[in-house]
């Protein structure tokens, strides 16, 4: 009788262990099945895809166009606020707002996150960070210096929400650029901008998008265009339009800012994307 009872106790304990193990496996597997597969979390204990959805998003450019616009309250009134790189809000709240839900960050701006980690992972602890970069900097075998820096941050701030753009997603963005322009991004000597990755992500996670601070593709051709700094938060030797022209015609290593804006105008014609400040002309939205 005792041996039979012992047998049933062992069977019960084994069943409980199997159930706990199965639950763990299923939860781990589910974490990797849900979310956006092009964005993977950097975390010491878990590996999951980006699970981020929002109704109306404000995408805030880092352009000097933001200065003097007094759009801060309007921006903060949206469901989510998306910013780029290390663009600050402190000191510029009236123009750019105060909230940050998500930041899309270039590999070149990660050192800024590291130097100001108390701000970005303290004051903005609830912010989700999505970092993109070339394979040589983002590789996970210990040789990717940017990924290593992100891994160090994730270990120091385990509650942080740090994600990287996968190599496959970067290749997808390259293919989008080529399909839109007919040009191979690498052969043309160009780099996609952080703005391009931001727009791709915003279109994936937001139901509707209001864009602040981006000029349209023809803006710099207008004789009466304004002269503003390239970034609202720091002086620059070149104003925004001169910087755009320099990059647009660079043989190697430039961003095709103007070309990208023309792509955005076509996307805006689909209705999900709206450029509210400065407003884009209706005529450009309807271009083929």
Average pLDDT for 150-178: 96
Between vectors from CA 243 to CA 239 and to CA 249, what angle results, nearest 5°?
Answer: 150
DSSP-based three-state secondary structure for 49? strand
The residue ranking higher by pLDDT, 175 or 186, is 175
Which pLDDT band holds residue 25 (cuts at 50, 70, 90)?
very low
For residue 19, pLDDT beyond 90: no
225, 241 in Cβ contact below 8 A? Answer: yes
Helix (H) or strand (E) holding 60: strand 54-60
Q: What's the mean per-residue pLDDT of the chain?
A: 86
b/e for 220-258, b at 16 or more Cβ within 10 A?
beeeeeeebbbbbbeeeeebbbebbeebbeeeeebbbbb
pTM of the full structure = 0.84
For the chain, the farthest-separated pair of C-alpha atoms sits apart, in whole angstroms, at 98
Pairwise pLDDT comparison (220 vs 214), residue with the higher score? 214
Arithmetic mean of pLDDT, 190-204 = 94
Q: Give me the phi and psi of 237, to 5 degrees please.
A: -65, -35
Domain boundaries, the chain: 35-282
Tell me, which fold does domain 35-282 have in CATH? sialyltransferase cstii, chain A (3.90.1480)
- Environment class of 164 (CB within 10 Å of its CB; exposed 0-12, middle 13-18, buried 19+): buried
Average pLDDT over residues 86-113: 97
Stretch among 11-25, 123-137, 217-231, 274-288 having the lowest mean pLDDT: 11-25
> What mean pLDDT is predicted for residues 261-281?
91
- pLDDT, average across residues 177-189: 78
Per-residue confidence band for 42, with pLDDT thresholds at 50, 70 and 90: very high
What separation, in Å, do the N-terminal and C-terminal C-alpha atoms of the chain show? 84
* Measured distance CA(193)–CA(111) in Å, rounded: 18
Q: Look at 16-20, 31-35, 47-51, 150-154 and tell me which has the smallest mean pLDDT.
A: 16-20
pLDDT at 267 over 80: yes
| Per-residue pLDDT, 31 | 41
* Residue scoring higher pLDDT (286 or 95): 95
In this predicted structure, what is the pLDDT of residue 256?
Answer: 82
């Amino acid at each position: 009788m005792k041996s039979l009872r012992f047998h049933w106790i062992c069977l019960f304990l084994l069943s409980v262990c199997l159930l706990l193990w199965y639950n763990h496996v299923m939860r781990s597997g589910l974490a990797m099945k849900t979310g956006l597969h092009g964005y993977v979390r950097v975390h010491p204990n878990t590996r999951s895809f980006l699970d981020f959805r929002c109704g109306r998003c404000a995408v805030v450019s880092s352009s000097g166009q933001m200065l003097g616009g007094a759009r801060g309250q309007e921006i903060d009134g949206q469901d989510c606020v998306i910013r780029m790189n290390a663009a600050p809000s402190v000191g510029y709240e009236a123009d750019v707002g105060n909230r940050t839900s998500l930041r899309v960050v270039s590999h070149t701006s990660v050192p800024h996150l590291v130097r100001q980690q108390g701000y970005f992972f303290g004051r903005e602890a609830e912010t989700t960070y999505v970092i993109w970069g070339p394979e040589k900097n983002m590789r996970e075998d210990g040789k990717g210096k940017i990924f290593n820096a992100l891994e160090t941050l994730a270990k120091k701030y385990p509650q942080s929400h740090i994600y990287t753009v996968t190599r496959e997603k970067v290749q997808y963005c390259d293919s989008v650029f080529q399909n839109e322009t007919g040009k191979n991004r690498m052969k043309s000597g160009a780099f996609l901008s952080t703005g391009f990755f931001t727009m791709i992500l915003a279109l994936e996670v937001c139901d509707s998008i209001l864009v602040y601070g981006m000029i349209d593709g023809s803006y710099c051709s207008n004789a009466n265009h304004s002269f503003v700094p390239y970034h609202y938060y720091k002086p620059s030797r070149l104003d925004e339009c001169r910087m755009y022209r320099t990059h647009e015609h660079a043989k190697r290593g430039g961003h095709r800012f103007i070309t990208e804006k023309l792509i955005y105008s076509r996307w805006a014609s689909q209705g999900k994307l709206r450029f509210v400040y400065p407003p884009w002309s209706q005529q450009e939205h309807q271009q083929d």
